[in-house]
Structure 1
Amino acid sequence: MTVTTAPPGFPAPALDGLPAVTAALAACAAVHDRDAELPLADFELLHGAGLLTATVAARHGGPGAGLADTVRILRALGAGDPAVALVTAMTLFTHAAEARAPHWPAGPLAELLADSARRPVLVNALRVEPELGSPVRGGLPATTARRRGDGWELTGRKIYSTGAHLLDWLLVWAATDEERPRVGSFLVRSGSPGLTVEPVWDHLGLRASRSDDVRLDAVPVPGDRVAGLALPGDDGGRDPVGGAWNSLGLTALYLGVAGAARDWLLGFLHERTPSALGAPLASLPRFQSAVGGIETALAGADRLVDALAAAVDAGEPGAAEQAGGAKVLGTRAAIDAVQQAVALVGNHGLTRRHPLERHLRDVLCARVHTPQDDSVLLAAGRAALGRVRPL
C-alpha cells in the first residue's frame, strides 16, 4: 500500500517521484564508483523526498511505511546507485525495527528523531568483526564494554561498516566484561573520542558504500545509550520479521541493479547495428529470446519479493520465514540477468565506459549479505525432511 499522508514532523515519502530520484542518482553513480565516495548531497536529495525517514513510526510523527513500500524504494535506489541504496537501507531498517518493537532509550531516540526531521541522519548497526565474522552463525563479539562510572567504555574493531564515515549513529554490538557477559547495542555518536574510521574498503563492487573498518579505543558511552542489553539467549532470539526486512529489502536493491542493467542492454541492442547485418541487434530472434529470458526471470523475482513483502506487512503466517528463500531466488535471478547481459554484448559489457561493467561488479555483492545461500538452503532442506517420517 502506498503511503500518501503522514502526521506533522516527517513528510510522506514521494513514491511517485522515485523515477526522478533514480535518474538523479544514476547520473552520478559512475563518478562515485570511480572515486569510491558518496557525497552527503545524495542523502540530502533522499531526505528532501521523505525517503530516508519513510519507516519512522506513526507514533513518532512519521509515515510508518511498511516493508512493501520499503522494497519499492530500495529497488528504485538500487537502479540508480546501489551504494546510496545500501547506506539508506540500513537507516530505514533501523527506524522500522524501532517502529515494530521499541528498544532505543528515550533520550537518544528523541535526539535521533529531532535531527532526522531537520536533515539527513544515517544509522547503521556494526556487528561484523575480524575474528568472528558475521554473528548470524553464532558466537560472542570481541568488542568489549567496560563499566566506567555510570556509563561504559567500548574497545574493539568492526569491519564491513557500510557508510561508516557518513554515519551519525553507530549501533555497536558488544559484550560486557562482567562475570556473566551481556550483549547488546551501544549507541555511539559520530565524532566520539576514541572512535576512528579506517579507510580500508577496496572492493570489487559497491565501492562507494565505503564499508570501512571502525576502531573503538575506550570510546565513552553514557549509561542511557544502550539498547537490548541481555544475557546471551535471553535477548528474545531470532526475529523473523526483522530478517524478512533485511532479506527482501536487499533483494529488491539488487533487482534494481539488474533492472538498470537490462535497461542499458535494451538500448544497446537497439542502437548497435553491425555493418554486416545492416539492422539493429534487437531485430535478431537470438537476442529477442535472450532478452525474453532476462525479462521473465526479473519480472518473476520482482513479483515474488513484492508479494511476500505485502504478506509480511499483513502478518500472514509463515510469510516472514519464507523471505530467506525469496532472497536466494531473487538475488540469483539478478546475478544471472546481468551475467547474461554481459555474455550477449561481449567486450562492450566489460568496458568501463559502459555501465554494464559496474552493474556486474555491484550485483555480485548480493551473495555476501546475510542470510547467505548455504544457510537458507540447509534450513529449508532440514525443514522439508523433517516433515516426512522415515519409511
Structure 2
Amino acid sequence: MTALDERRTALPVPDLSEEGLAAVTAELAGTAQHYDRSGAIPVAGIDAVHRAGLLTATVAERFGGPGVSARDAARILVALGEGDPSVALLAANTLATHQGQAAAGSWPAARYAEVLRRSAREPTLINAIRAEPELGAPARGGLPATVARRTGDGWSLSGRKAYATGGTALAYHVVWATADEPDGDPEAPRVGHLIVPADLPGISWIDTWDHLGLRASNTHDVVYDDVALPADAFVEIPRGADGVYRDPAAAAGPASFGHPALYVGVARAARAAFVRYARERVPAALGRPIAETERIRTVAGEIDALLAQAETLLFGALLRIEAGDTAHLPQLSLLKVQIARSVVAAVETAVAALGNPALTRHQPFERHLRDVLCVRVHPPQADAALLDAGRRLLTR
C-alpha cells in the first residue's frame, strides 16, 4: 500500500439529482425559522447536510472524495440556501476549503487525512478565520495583527478575529496571521494561514453575533491566546514577484462563487413563498386568489426574470470555465456583484408587492429579505470590484 492509499478515506458520493437536492432543501427549511429565532447552532440542518454527503462533496478524488465540479458545488449551495442559508454558509466555507486543498494541496498530508477520517464519521466544519476588529476585511488591504510567533518546535498563535462564522461548531480554523520569526524580515514578514484544530487550549469565544440576517450562522469573535501549533501548521501565502503582499480574497475565483450561490437559493425560497401566498390569498373584495390578477402576475414575472438573470450569470460563468474559456476570469468579481444585485432585487420585489404581510414574522418573506441582504458583505464588495474593473479597463 502506498502512502497516498494510506491517506485515502472513502467518502460518500452525494445524490446531486434535482430530487435528491430538493429533499435536503425541504429538511433544512423545516427548521430554518426555529434557528433564525433562537440564533442557536443549526445542528439539525448541519446533520442533514452531513448525512447527504454534501459537506465533503468537493474533496478531490485523489483523497477519496467525489471531487464534484465548481458548478455542482454551486448547485449544492443553491439548494442549501433555499432551505436554510445559515447552514448553507457553514457548508460553503467547508466546501471552499476542500476545493482549495484539491487545487493546491497545501495542508500537511497527515492533518488533512485526519480531517477526512473525522468527516466520514461526523459533520466536520472548517472555516477561514480572517477578519479582525481593527483591520476589518482582509480584502481591503493591510496585514493581520494576529501573530504566529516561532517557538522551538512550532508556533504560538495570538490575536483576536471577528466574524468567525461557525463559532463553536467549527472543527478546524484556518487562521490568517503574520509570522514573527527570528530570521524573518520585519519589513516584509511572511503572511499565511495556520491550520488550527478547534479544541486546542487557548481558544475562547466572545458572543458578538447579533445580526440582521443569517442569525444562526454563529459568526462570533474568537480569541487565540498562545495557542501552540506544530511547525507544519503554517501555510504561507506567497508575495508577488515585486515583493508586495496581495490578499487572495481581493478578487473572485471559481471557488468563491459558493457564496453568491447560496443567496440564489434564498431568492428561490422567496419566489416559492410568493407563489404560495398569491395562490392562497383571497381578499373578500376580490373573491378570487390574487394570483389571478394581472398585477401579481406581472410581479411574479419580474421576480422570475431577476432570478433567471442571477442563475444564468452564476452557472454561465462556471460553465465557461469548464469549457476551457477563461476570457471572463478578470470579470468574476463583477459577475458576483451582478448576481448579488439580482437576488436582492428579486426578494425586495416580492416584499414590496405584498406590503404588510411580507413584513410580519408570521410569513417567511422578512426572513428571506434579512438573509439575502448579507450577500453584499462577501468580498470583494461592490465598490472594490467596480473600482478594480474600471481601473483595469481604463489603464490597458
Is TM > 0.5 for Structure 1 vs Structure 2?
yes
Residue of structure 2 equivalent to 1:189: 197
Q: Structure 1 residue 290 and structure 2 residue 293: aligned?
A: no
Taking the aligned partners of 1:237 and 1:365, their CA distance within structure 2 comes to: 25
What's the secondary structure of 1:224's corresponding residue?
helix
Structure 1's 93 and 143: CA in aligned 2 closer, same or farther, altered over 3 A? same
The answer to which of 54-63 and 35-44 deviates more is: 35-44
Partner AA of 2:118 in structure 1: D
Taking the aligned partners of 2:240 and 2:159, their CA distance within structure 1 comes to: 19
Structure 1's 203 and 353: CA in aligned 2 closer, same or farther, altered over 3 A? same
Instruction: Please say if residues 67 and 312 of structure 1, whose CA atoms lie closer than 8 Å, have aligned partners that are also in contact.
Output: no
Partner AA of 2:231 in structure 1: G
Taking the aligned partners of 2:174 and 2:251, their CA distance within structure 1 comes to: 16
The answer to which of 294-303 and 239-248 deviates more is: 239-248
The answer to which of 229-238 and 62-71 deviates more is: 229-238
Unaligned runs of at least 5 residues, structure 2 = 1-7
Structure 1's 300 and 309: CA in aligned 2 closer, same or farther, altered over 3 A? same
Deviation at 1:358, TM superposition (A): 0.3
Q: TM-score normalised to the size of structure 2? A: 0.92
Instruction: Please say if residues 178 and 190 of structure 2, whose CA atoms lie closer than 8 Å, have aligned partners that are also in contact.
Output: yes
Instruction: Please say if residues 67 and 310 of structure 1, whose CA atoms lie closer than 8 Å, have aligned partners that are also in contact.
Output: no
Q: Structure 1 residue 223 and structure 2 residue 223: aligned?
A: no
CA displacement 1:233-280 (0-9 Å, x = unmatched): 769956599832354211111111011001101111111111111111
Q: Which of 230, 244, 259 is the aligned partner of 1:250?
A: 259
Residue of structure 2 equivalent to 1:3: none
Q: Which of 341, 354, 375 is the aligned partner of 1:366?
A: 375
Structure 1's 168 and 82: CA in aligned 2 closer, same or farther, altered over 3 A? same
Deviation at 1:42, TM superposition (A): 2.1
Residue of structure 2 equivalent to 1:302: 311
Residue of structure 2 equivalent to 1:212: 220
What count of residue pairs does the alignment treat as equivalent? Answer: 381
Instruction: Please say if residues 97 and 126 of structure 2, whose CA atoms lie closer than 8 Å, have aligned partners that are also in contact.
Output: yes
Residue of structure 1 equivalent to 2:123: 120
Deviation at 1:321, TM superposition (A): 2.4
Taking the aligned partners of 1:61 and 1:212, their CA distance within structure 2 comes to: 33
Q: How does 1:1-391 map to 2 (within 5 A)?
A: 9-16=10-17, 17-178=20-181, 179-180=184-185, 181-228=189-236, 230=238, 243-387=252-396
Instruction: Please say if residues 157 and 213 of structure 1, whose CA atoms lie closer than 8 Å, have aligned partners that are also in contact.
Output: yes
What's the secondary structure of 1:318's corresponding residue?
coil
Deviation at 1:43, TM superposition (A): 2.0
Q: TM-score normalised to the size of structure 1? A: 0.93
Taking the aligned partners of 1:377 and 1:269, their CA distance within structure 2 comes to: 37
What's the secondary structure of 2:235's corresponding residue?
strand
Structure 1's 235 and 227: CA in aligned 2 closer, same or farther, altered over 3 A? farther
Taking the aligned partners of 1:131 and 1:174, their CA distance within structure 2 comes to: 14
What's the secondary structure of 2:346's corresponding residue?
helix
Taking the aligned partners of 2:244 and 2:388, their CA distance within structure 1 comes to: 22
Instruction: Please say if residues 241 and 320 of structure 1, whose CA atoms lie closer than 8 Å, have aligned partners that are also in contact.
Output: no
Structure 1's 164 and 368: CA in aligned 2 closer, same or farther, altered over 3 A? same
Partner AA of 2:62 in structure 1: R
Taking the aligned partners of 2:332 and 2:208, their CA distance within structure 1 comes to: 32
Instruction: Please say if residues 97 and 242 of structure 1, whose CA atoms lie closer than 8 Å, have aligned partners that are also in contact.
Output: no
Taking the aligned partners of 2:130 and 2:322, their CA distance within structure 1 comes to: 26
